[in-house]
Each structure stands twice: as structure tokens, then as C-alpha cells.
Amino acid sequence: MRAVVYDRYGPPEVLHFAEVPQPIPKKDEVLVKLHAVGVTRADCETRAANRRSGLFISLLSRLVFASADPGSQSSASSSLARSPGSGATLAARGRRPRLWEHAFFRFGAWAEYICLPQDGRIAHMPAGLTFQEAAPITDGGLNALGCLKLAGPREGQRILVYGASGAIGTAGVQLAKYFGADVTAVCKAKHNELVRTLGADRVIDYTQQDFTKNGETYDVIFDAVGKLSFRRCRGSLNPGGFFMPTYGPMNAFWALWTSRIGNKRVMPPIARSSTDDVLLLKELIEVGKYRVVVDRTYPFEDVVEAARYVDTAPKMGNVVLTVISDRG
């Protein structure tokens, strides 16, 4: 089968196609035929050994992933279950397409097939969606949902979503509104209309205004793009408030420190999720309370161009690779 691989860290150009053996499912796995897959920030940072985060983090990243098979890590994919392994019951041959999200640090999703645990985070694809629309659901959706749940979402909570027009940000705005929050979205002015249609009560253009200096305070500051720091945001948090990062090694230190001292907490940038979370996203999509924003879709052959776009452009929502163009 065809798969996108890389045998050294670096820019998008290190990605290339190779013929690799089709995986064989174990008795507790399902063989998944991929139709579309998301191209995420995590994919690109892993491929580049997190070089933007400094030398120490880059070296740590190389150490962590040194034993992994060359490949591309992807957080979400829409797929068609074709041949479940012995004992697999969730995805029988010929059933509806599936939506899935694989385990953290799992490689191999930029390929024609992959094996997944039958008891993993798998659910029927939401009715009415194309593979390209369904592919990125679980990337932004599960990341945002996992973070917001840590803050104990409640009616009337004041939540600021920084980077509100990205994959995690667009999910964060919608899910915060689902939980009944008052939502302030921070993004570029050209994305104002988008985030308002997703439910934002007000929008701040970060190129024109620094939200940390306008005197407003929030119960939750959700950094959906990993560009803020607790030091910068602390004065904008209400007592008992939460700073919710999605990235940043220093945030692990701050999470430990603020759990013992002070009344404003940093939550560790690790979002936990379950099959129930996948099913919730499916339900919200089908009742019209959540939608996935897709910026661009690329054919599988243009994986380098897609990765370059995610690397260099402030994308609006998600970027998707079409592995198979038909609907199966």
C-alpha cells in the first residue's frame, strides 16, 4: 500500500511516498481503509522535531520519537472499515463509514490502511457528511472538549478562546457555547464573521488590541494555538480561574506550581478523551450545534504542499488530505 513516510526530521520536503506492507489486524483490531485524513499542527511539529520550541525540546522530541517507525502522526481521520480482524465486532464488513481518532503518539495515518483497536475511540460517521468533512472532527473537537471539561464548564462562565479561527479554536468556540458560556474569541479581523457564526459573543482582533490590557477578566482563558503564557494571562483571570494551554513545556511546571499555590490554576496541556466524547461530537453535528470548518482540501499526492501550508499559513479551521476521492 502507499504511505507517506519520512526518514529524517526537517521541512515538508522530507515527506515522500513509499510502498509498505498493508497492516494485518490482530484479533482485537479493525483494518481501516482511509478516505481522508487531517493535516494537523502536531503532525508538522513532530516531523520538524519541534524545532520552533528551542533546542532542549527539539532534542527531547528526537529522543521520544527515535524508536518510532518513520511515518506521519495524524490526530484524526475519516475512514471506511473494510476488514476487521478476528474477534472484532464494532466494524463489520460493509457497514457505514466510520469516524475515528487514534491514540496519542500513534504513527501511520497518512496511508491507505491502518489497524486500530476495536475498543478505541470509534463511532459511526455523522450522517450527511463527506469523508473530507468528517476527517478532522476529532482533532480540534477532542482537543477542545478535553480541555474545556477540565475547567468544569457551566452556564454563564466567561471563556476567552485565543486562536479562535484555527482547528482547535473553532471547536473551542462552539463547545464553549454548547456548555452555556459567554465566549470572547481572539483572532484576526478577517475571521471575525466566521467565529461569530460559530457562536462567539464578541471578537477581539489581536493585531489591534491586547486582551490582557483591556481590563476584562475571564473564568477560563483557552489558548488554542499554544502562543500564550500564564504570566501574561494571569491578570486577566478571575479568582478560581483556569489557564488552559494546548502546548508548551513550561505549562507542565506551572500546572504543578499553581495546583499548590494561588487561586488561579494552569491545567496541564494534555486533553483526555473517550468514545463518549466522540459520540457527543457526532450528536452535536447531527443536530446542527457543531460544524467542522475546513480551510483547504488537498489530494494525497500534494501532501508536501498541504504540510507547507499548515507550517506557514494562519489556517482557518482544518486542512485535509483526500486519500481516496470516491465515497466508497
pLDDT, tens only, 221-259:
999 998 999 999 999 999 999 999 987 667 777 777 788
Is 2-136+292-322 a CATH 3.30.1160.10 domain? no
Q: What is the pTM of this model?
A: 0.85
From residue 107, alpha-carbon distances to 1, 69, 75, 77, 297 in Å are 15, 7, 9, 12, 21
pLDDT of residue 286: 95
Average pLDDT, stretch 34-53?
A: 75
CATH superfamily of 140-266: NAD(P)-binding Rossmann-like Domain (3.40.50.720)
pLDDT confidence tier of residue 94, bands split at 50, 70 and 90 = very low
pLDDT of residue 86: 47
pLDDT confidence tier of residue 268, bands split at 50, 70 and 90 = confident
Average pLDDT, the chain: 82
Best-predicted range by mean pLDDT among 57-71, 89-103, 304-318? 304-318
Average pLDDT, stretch 101-120?
A: 69
Residues near 62 by beta carbon (within 8 Å), at least 6 away in sequence: 9, 49
> In a 10 Å sphere around its CB, with 0-12 CB exposed, 13-18 middle and 19+ buried, how is residue 155 labelled?
exposed
DSSP one-letter string for 89-119:
-SS-TT---EEEEPPTT-B--SBSEEEEETT
pLDDT of residue 71: 47
Domain chopping of the chain, boundaries: 2-136+292-322, 140-266
DSSP state of 268: P
pLDDT of residue 76: 46
The 3-state DSSP class for residue 223 equals: strand
Q: Are 140 and 161 in contact (CB under 8 A)?
A: no
Average pLDDT, stretch 209-232?
A: 95
Distance, C-alpha 166 to centroid of its chain: 10
Q: What angle do CA 138, 140, 145 make, to 5 degrees?
A: 85
Average pLDDT, stretch 49-72?
A: 49
pLDDT in tens, 118-173: 877 778 888 888 889 988 898 899 999 999 998 888 899 999 999 999 999 999 99
- Of 202-216, 256-270, 280-294, the one with minimum mean pLDDT is 256-270
Q: Are 40 and 246 in contact (CB under 8 A)?
A: no
